[in-house]
Structure 1
Amino acid sequence: MSSSSASSSLYLFTTSQTPLPPRYPHPSRPKLILPSLVHRTLHNSLDGDTPSISFNHGDGKGTVIIPHPDGLVKHDLPSSNNSTSQSQSHNPSPNGNEIPENGLSDESSKYLVDSELTVKLHLVSPSSPSNYLERVKESLGILEKYKGLSKEKVDTLLIGFKGVDYKGKKTETDPDSDSQADADGEYTIDKQLESTILDTWKEILEEKGLVGEQTKLGSLYSPLNLLKQLVSPSQGKGDVKGIKVNALDTPDCHHLPKEYTGYARGEGVELWAGGGGEGSDPLPSPHLHNLLQEFSSKLSSLTGGTIDSSLLGKLIGVDGDGLKFEKRGAVDVRWVLSYTLVSKTRNVVKDKGYIVAADLYP
């Protein structure tokens, strides 16, 4: 489906870490954590007499936000631009107190220094490199606007693509994935997808002001061949610095090939091991369609019919062998962003969650 034909955009923020398993049939693998968190959020937001939802008809293509932004925790970490614009020596505030030269109150400064923000962005809907870059900008803009987490204050930004989910061991090819092991056991991805990823990263690395100057850029689940090209993207064509981190959807790095870990160590690339549950497609579009189906009538009423209940009203089933959904549906997930805000001094999580961006079709 083309996003140009979408009737509205949906932005959905998870509000709880307590899962509520979906009630509809779905593929048993991969085991994903996000559908259950979205299910919980939809019930928290839409059950009851006062649903928490924002709908703006805008330019004819409505924007739906669940829950209502007023109910979200907003941190308001100041951006470097804000600090610069406010920074003046002995500049009094309206209440007569002097504003520090960095433009921040003591409380804000301490909060800023103490916080470490990690962002993972999954680009899941097929697109061109330039459109992928716009989605990166969109996602960081949404994070800043509604959660108060400035792009300049992102410590690490990790970006992944659907179809790239290397776990460090040879497995059966996922029927819904373009990734596979070749005859020599080397994990590879579809050549067209690889070309798109490399072109997208070239644009990301060359984009000025995309994130803060100190932000570390990294990839999600890149196999060795792709990782090498992302670490040294310029290949003699200018001074383009590459990525510094590669996160893996695996509990540890023990079963990674020695040449993989050896290369990363030699190039100073950090390998991050994760517990799994996200994969390269954390919330497949049929999952989101079926999650919204339970609330289709209410969503139609709350949006004045912009969300068509007749399209969301029918569940998408699974095929005969139960391995995948039968079809897509009336929803197309564009990207999924996860954020984790940690107190460095106390080593505790201040806030974490997911943001899902999707197109809803007429």
Structure 2
Amino acid sequence: MSSSPSSSLYIFTTSQTSLPPRYPHPSKPRLVLPSLIHRTLHNSLDGDSPSILSQENGVIVPHPDGLVKHDIPSTSTSSHQDTNPNPNADPDVRGDVNEVNGGLGDTSGNYLVDSELTVKLHLVGSAEPDGYIEWIKEGLGMLERYKGLSREGVDTLLVGFNGVDYKGKKTQVESNSDEMSSSEYIVDGELERVILDTWRLLLNQDGGKIVGSNTKLGSLYSPLSLLKQLVDLKKGDKGIRVNALDTPDCHHLPKEYTGYAKENGVELWAGGGGEGSDPLPSPHLHNLLQEFAGKLSSMTGGAVAVDKLESLIGLAEDGSKFEEGRAGVDVRWVLSYTLVSKTRNVVKDKGYIVAADFTS
């Protein structure tokens, strides 16, 4: 076990059962991820046999050997697959795991045909376009290595950026109108440049170096002005085909928005909220880890420096946000994945992966 300071932290959620944070936090926005991370930390670090891996390139919670892994078995290799599903995993998301054929109840062929994998990658830290591309590669690599869900098997990849969180806004132009104005949401000019340059790099990755050749690409929460520019970045038959929105009813979007999407073959996906462009703000993760700072230090042989995590980050006087000040950890990206059985219309597995860096 390394005794040198570790700069990175990776957390895989292990349950869909939430455990609300115990520290004061803003009431809005209402985020789902802090409660799931809180449950994961307790599941992994409490008890006599903590589940954690400390290695040169970072700390992983829980230990990846205990994660449900979806390697597709074959007749020649099934006996070599991981047969150690996580005993702490939520029964609702463990899918068809068993110990007979390497962790999957379906045959290999049926499993491939029957499954649909959707991945959302929230790029919440600050980077230049080439840095964001590396984060996308890292996120998909973590999903493949530790969950057995390969990039070739990703049906839809949605990419979002912190600061782009369009929901739509109702207008009062007509008293009986449910239309909302998209012109009221403007993305910062520098952020818009970085987003467009990042997508240019992503679309110009020849030979499926980042995602599979059949992966459908989409954006998260793009307002109409940004969406139009993203759609124009087509590379051959690759381009933006989906835009997911943090609003439950796409028909409440402006007609110009829905009309443009229909005319240009862009699917609009409505969501129920709880994520947004910053699903796990760094102060939230700092305060979640503060409860376990001592344990993290002792379990990693001092690889996790706890001096920056010793105190909670409090709330501003009006309670609307956390106090100003640098957190002891900076979230880089948050990946969510959902694996669905198409024939049975049930979720086989879902969860989050969080990547963060300890601050120096």
> Where on the TM-score scale, by shorter chain, does this alignment land: which range?
0.7 to 0.9
- 2:336 aligned residue: 338
Q: TM-score, normalised by structure 2?
A: 0.84
| Residues 272-287 of structure 1 mapped to structure 2, 5 A cutoff | 272-287=269-284
RMSD (CA atoms): 2.1
Counterpart Cα distance in 1 of 2:239 and 2:170: 27
1:314 matched to 2:311? yes
User: Per-residue displacement from partner, 1:48-80 (whole Å, max 9, x unpaired)?
Assistant: 111111111x2xxx51110110110000148xx
Counterpart Cα distance in 2 of 1:269 and 1:254: 14
Q: TM-score, normalised by structure 1?
A: 0.84
- Structure 2 unpaired stretches of 5+: 79-105, 172-179
Secondary structure in 2 matching 1:265: helix
- 1:36 aligned residue: 35
1:248 matched to 2:256? no
- 1:13 aligned residue: 12
Q: Residue 360 of structure 1: CA displacement?
A: 1.1
Which one of the candidate residues 255, 261, 265 is aligned to 1:264? 261
Structure 1 segments of 4+ aligned residues over 3 angstroms from their partners: 92-95, 238-241
Secondary structure in 1 matching 2:252: coil
Letter in 2 for 1:351: D
Q: % of aligned pairs identical?
A: 72
Counterpart Cα distance in 1 of 2:65 and 2:273: 32
Q: Residue 93 of structure 1: CA displacement?
A: 4.9
| Residues 183-202 of structure 1 mapped to structure 2, 5 A cutoff | 185-202=183-200
Letter in 2 for 1:138: E
Secondary structure in 1 matching 2:338: strand
- Structure 1 unpaired stretches of 5+: 1-5, 84-91, 96-105, 172-180
Secondary structure in 2 matching 1:16: coil
- 1:207 aligned residue: 205
Report if aligned partners of 1:331, 1:358 keep a CA contact under 8 Å in 2. Answer: yes
- 1:23 aligned residue: 22
- 1:89 aligned residue: none
- 1:70 aligned residue: 65
User: Per-residue displacement from partner, 1:19-60 (whole Å, max 9, x unpaired)?
Assistant: 11001011111110000000000001111111111111x2xx
User: Per-residue displacement from partner, 1:143-171 (whole Å, max 9, x unpaired)?
Assistant: 00000000000000000000000002169
Report if aligned partners of 1:247, 1:272 keep a CA contact under 8 Å in 2. Answer: yes
- 1:217 aligned residue: 217
User: Per-residue displacement from partner, 1:179-230 (whole Å, max 9, x unpaired)?
Assistant: xx99x94321100000100000000111122111111000000000000011
Report if aligned partners of 2:218, 2:244 keep a CA contact under 8 Å in 1. Answer: yes
194 and 306 in structure 1: CA distance in 2 versus 1, 3 angstrom threshold: same
- 1:124 aligned residue: 124
Counterpart Cα distance in 2 of 1:7 and 1:125: 19
Counterpart Cα distance in 2 of 1:331 and 1:154: 29
Secondary structure in 2 matching 1:299: helix
240 and 188 in structure 1: CA distance in 2 versus 1, 3 angstrom threshold: farther
